[in-house]
Amino acid sequence: MQLIQLPGLEVNLCCEGKTLPEYDDESFTPQANKNTKYVEVVNGATFSVEFRFLPNFPYITEDTQIQVKLDGKFGRANLLSPSQMVAYRSNQIDSIPSYNKGSWTKQMFKFADLSTDDHAVKASQMNVKKALALGTVTAEVICVKVGAPAHCQPANTFASEGKIPEKALKGRAMSIQAELSKAVACEAATYADVTYPYGHDPIATFTFKYRSRRDLQIEGIIPRSPSPVPLEDRDPDSLSAEEARELVRRLRAQREDLVRVKREGAKRQRSATVTENHDDDDGDDVTISETRSRKRSRPSADSGVELVDLTGD
DSSP class per residue in 3-51? -SS-TTEEEEEEETTEEPPEEE-TT----SSEEEEEEE--TT-BEEEEE
CA Rg value for the chain: 44
User: Looking at the structure, do residues 76 and 154 belong to the same domain, yes or no?
Assistant: yes
Please, what is the average pLDDT of the chain?
83
- Supply the range of the domain harboring residue 118: 9-218
Same domain for 167 and 232? no
> Percent of the chain beyond pLDDT 90?
48
- The model's pLDDT over 288-312, given as tens digits with 9 standing for 90+, comes to 444 444 444 455 445 554 444 444 5
Among 163, 188, 218, residue at a domain's last position: 218
- Residue 66, Cβ neighbours under 10 Å: how many? 23
Q: What is the pLDDT of residues 74-125, one digit of tens each?
A: 999 999 999 888 887 789 999 999 998 889 999 999 999 987 776 644 545 6
Other C-beta atoms lying within 10 Å of the C-beta of residue 255 = 10
In this structure, is residue 17 part of a structural domain?
A: yes
Bridge partners, residue 92, by sequence: 50
Same domain, 106 and 255: no
What is the reported pLDDT for 291?
Answer: 45
**173 vs 45, 147, 168, 217, CA distance in Å?**
19, 44, 11, 9
Residues 169, 142 share a domain:
yes
Of residues 200 and 276, the one with the higher pLDDT is 200
For the stretch 223-243, what's the b/e string if a residue is b when 16 or more beta carbons lie within 10 angstroms of its beta carbon? eeeeeeeebeeeeeeeeeeee
- On the question of pLDDT at 269 being above 70, the answer is yes
Number of domains in the chain: 2
The conformation of residue 169, written as its DSSP 8-state character, comes to: G
> In which band, very low, low, confident or very high, does the pLDDT at 250 lie, cut at 50, 70 and 90?
confident
79 and 182 in a single domain? The answer is yes
pLDDT band at 126 (very low <50, low <70, confident <90, very high): low
Q: What average pLDDT score do residues 12-41 get?
A: 94
